[in-house]
Amino acid sequence: MSMLPPPQVGDRPVPESFPPPPLATAAVPLSVWQRPVRRTRLVLVAAVVCAVWTSGLLGVYVGAEIERQKTPEAFRNSTESVVLGKPRSGAFEQRLDVAAVTATLRPSIVSVSTDVSDAGQVGEGVGTGIVLTSDGQILTNAHVVAGATQVRVRLAGEGNPRSAKVLATDPGHDLALLAVDATGLIPATLADPDNVRVGDEVLAIGYALDLDGEASVTLGIVSALGRTIRIDAGALDGMIQTDAAISSGNSGGPLVNAAGEVVGVNTAVARSDASNTATSIGFSISMAQAIPEIAVLRSQASGTRRNEGYIGIGLAERSDGGKGAVVASVIAGLPADKAGIVELDVIVAIDGRQIDGGAGVIAAVRGHQPGDQISVVVERGRVEQTYLVDVIERPADVG
């Protein structure tokens, strides 16, 4: 039976197999062809006529002067609390009012544009951001601002973008915090992490394809919960799957419920390839993952060093259709080896949570801090065994 290819954040298919690097915590890296869902345009650097060149220099000079005169406080790390929705006990009684929810959220959604350069080419990227605080703190995907030489944010109701600063970024969780010099913004309300159910109607709102005008709105449902997908920096856990259309440029924008609360940050879509068809399969980072990550990013912006967990194994996917991840390699002397895990063990659970594949191991291990201890359940010869494994800091040279 044909299986859906691994979800991806780009326009090119990801291969079915992922050969494990010997030193990786989870050896299932993404294909080099995988790219994030942000709208990007690359143009060759070319000579321009003198008049345009001169006016361009003048614009650069004026912009530089404005930036030079800004005080560092203009791009501050906010101390305001994010706005959280109230828990609910049951399903929504009425269907989602698209017009009303859209009107509620529009003031809290921004366009994020970037300048990038790569191998002699200059490029532009476009994504979406969510206003977190009234004093200018904005949440978006890390891949939206990756490699950016300049970041700009256009607020709702404004025609011109404002300069923005990247306060902190975490590629492993694909989230980033931005700051703009602004006050009086309207923060979005973040849903209680438990306030999302399969079948809930949701809207995806964002600057799809960098089309002119306001953000695009698409309607769908929550198709599944707790998905794990691969990204360039590892894996994302606890994802919301939705059939609301998500396109390039939607990255970093909100997935919204009938109460006008943000239940997820739109991040990725599944793409078809030559042998498989993916239709309306998008993924959003859940608030269960995003809300604690906002606190971590704020700490990082204040100077706290971020560490990722590591136990010293390489992984391979099962080829027999079963769940779990095969231990392809174990580094001698590191925690997994000391605990007793061996090659060809199949990891089926970590800290009581079922592991469906290698991406789940990546997310579970990297999400822990050095000094933590995790419970790892493995199958060895059809017999389950549990090991307590200490977590150490992930080495910088491990991919």
Q: Which run of H or of E encompasses 363?
A: helix 358-366
Same structural domain for residues 367 and 295? no
39 confidence band (pLDDT: 50, 70, 90): low
Task: Residue 197: count other Cβ atoms within 10 Å of its Cβ.
Answer: 15
217 and 113 part of one domain: yes
Q: How far apart are CA 38 and CA 177, in angstroms?
A: 16
Are 302 and 313 in a shared domain? no
**What pLDDT sits at residue 43?**
42
Nearest-angstrom CA–CA distance, 125 and 176:
15
162 and 201 housed in the same domain? yes
Question: Lowest-confidence range among 41-50, 212-221, 288-297, 349-358?
Answer: 41-50
Which CATH number covers residue 162? 2.40.10.120
277 located within any domain: yes
Q: Which amino acid is at 48?
A: V
Q: Which residues contact 225 (CB under 8 A, 6 or more apart)?
A: 196, 197, 198, 238, 240, 241, 286
Active site residues: 143, 174, 251
Residue 42: pLDDT above 50? no
Backbone φ and ψ for 358, nearest 5 degrees, come out as -60, -35
Asked whether residue 322 falls in the same domain as residue 245, the answer is no
Domain end position, chosen among 306, 340, 366: 306
pLDDT digits (tens, 9 = 90+) for 283-315: 999 999 999 999 999 998 988 777 788 999 999
Q: Coil, strand, or helix at residue 387?
A: strand
Residue 23 lies in a domain: no
Query: Of residues 13 and 391, which shows the higher confidence score?
Result: 391
Q: Which residues contact 334 (CB under 8 A, 6 or more apart)?
A: 310, 311, 312, 392
Counting the structural domains of the chain, the total is 2
Q: Which of 281, 306, 331 is the last residue of a domain?
A: 306
Backbone angles phi, psi at 155, to 5 degrees: -75, 160
167 SS3 class: strand
* Rg of the chain (C-alpha set): 22
CB-based contact 142:163 (threshold 8 Å): no
Q: Are 145 and 224 in contact (CB under 8 A)?
A: no
Is residue 313 situated within a structural domain? yes
- Determine the Cα–Cα distance for residues 342 and 42; give it in Å rounded to an integer: 47
Of the pLDDT bands very low, low, confident and very high (cuts 50, 70, 90), residue 38 is low
pLDDT at 120: 73
Residue range(s) defining the domain that contains residue 331 = 309-393
**238 and 378 share a domain?**
no
Query: Cα separation of 170 and 113, whole Å?
Result: 19
Q: Is residue 206 part of a domain?
A: yes
Helical segments of 219-377, H only: 287-301, 335-339, 358-366
- Top pLDDT among 128 and 230 is at 128
Q: What's the pLDDT band for 272 if we cut at 50, 70, 90?
A: confident
Rounded CA gap, 52 and 49, in Å? 6
Instruction: Read off the pLDDT band of 122 (50, 70, 90).
Output: confident
Predicted confidence (pLDDT) per residue in 71-94, tens digit: 444 677 898 999 999 998 888 888
Residue 365 — left, alpha, or beta (φ > 0 → left; ψ -120 to 50 → alpha)? alpha
379 within domain boundaries: yes
The position carrying tokens 């959604």 is: 109
Rounded distance, CA 150 to CA 159, Å?
18
State which of 306, 337, 360 marks the end of a domain: 306
Element (H, E) at 260: none
- Do 287 and 331 fall into the same domain? no
Instruction: Indicate yes or no: pTM above 0.75.
Output: no
Is 261:286 a contact under the CB 8 Å cutoff?
no
Same domain, 206 and 334: no
Q: Are strands 121-131 and 175-180 parallel, antiparallel or unpaired?
A: unpaired
CATH label of the domain that carries residue 318: 2.30.42.10
Quick one: 264 and 156 in the same domain?
Answer: yes
